[in-house]
Amino acid sequence: EVQLVQSGAEGKKPGESLRISCQGSGYDFSTYWIGWVRLMPGKGLEYMGRVDPRDSYNNYSPSFRGHVSISSDRAINTAYIQWSNLEASDSAIYFCVRMSCSTTNCFFDYWGQGTLVTVSS
């Protein structure tokens, strides 16, 4: 059974750093990208970026480039998203999602359960 299991809820202060994780199981972790999606309170889903666990190549949505860093460690089937300087506006639920693209198809299929991040002084 394919599963993406994310790390638990976090409470942080503005200016602090944070890394949350997403561990995949039930499939070859290296053969699918992992994307990250933000859900802010009362808002819709936002695509943030993705990482290819084969080589850790990442890219970002223009809205998030420079504010977060996405990485992976294929030895432990885990992807990460991290912030070095949290702001209150980073308070949201963050989801990881398995994704794959070829020349004919692109899909996002399995999702993590979500990680609630609260940033408050």
Partner 1 sequence: QTVVTQEPSLTVSPGGTVTLTCASSTGPVTSAFYPNWFQRRPGQAPTALIYSTSNKHSWTPARFSGSLLGGKAALTLSPVQPEDEAEYYCLLYFGSSNWVFGGGTTLTVL
103 versus 121: smaller Cβ distance to partner 1? 103
Token digits of residue 57: 């190549």
Listed residue (51, 64, 60, 53) closest to 28, CA to CA:
53
12 touches partner 1 (CB under 8 A): no
Does residue number 64 form part of the binding site for partner 1 (CB under 8 A)?
A: no
Least distance (Å) between residue 99 CB and partner 1: 9
What separation in angstroms does the CA of 116 have from each of 41, 67, 75? 10, 18, 26
Query: Count residues contacting partner 1 (CB under 8 A)?
Result: 26
How many residues does the structure list for the chain? Answer: 121
DSSP code at position 26: S
Q: Does 50 bind partner 1 (CB under 8 A)?
A: yes
Residues in contact with partner 1 by the rule CB under 8 A: 35, 37, 44-47, 49-50, 59-62, 95, 97, 101, 104-114
